[in-house]
Structure 1
């Protein structure tokens, strides 16, 4: 858990670096809430930063949420950390995040939770939506 990992940050960073050396990619989930902090972006050897959906929900109406998200994306890019936005539910949110430079996205706009037997059917759809600007 975050409490355990961050109680001895040097040990946690050492272990995370060993995992990265093995080729494991590390993500920080729900960035912007709980234990996440901008200072951890300087310390932790993460490869992916997941922006919490609480910032995405009103991004089209809340200028402060937009400014926070864009600043975090810029900081992550400067550290060569990829970003993913959680909770995208409409095309406006998707467009705003694309313009801000977000690398990936997830949310109901792309698919809702489904039983395992439906997953292959979802991936086989001709019109599958994808948010990865580098692949378009």
Structure 2
């Protein structure tokens, strides 16, 4: 079976959920910033091995300036997201932190509309707004 974007997105959701559970347990007695550093180091090693093993390594100097710029910006945003996420997860419950973190879905839709000129259909907007409503409900104090 060939995996489509949808299958990869579902797998991403599964691994993101496992990330939260594993991190919540792993953060016990550990500074959240230090834990983020360890996590990042492990990711670097695993991805480097994966890229090498699959023959996907290419010369980074051949990337365009635009590609470098946006990949660096993406990395900085990812790092900031991870630091904030681990700090929230350290003190909050996984079932509250993760849904609020996923409110990024609403921001992605808005940013994609503004900057990438993507135009979700009314059905897609309805789904995005329902997810947003779910985030609000889950984020409310009990």
TM-score by length of 1: 0.29
Higher relative contact order (CA 8 A, sep 6+): 2
Bigger Rg, which one: 2
TM-score by length of 2: 0.28
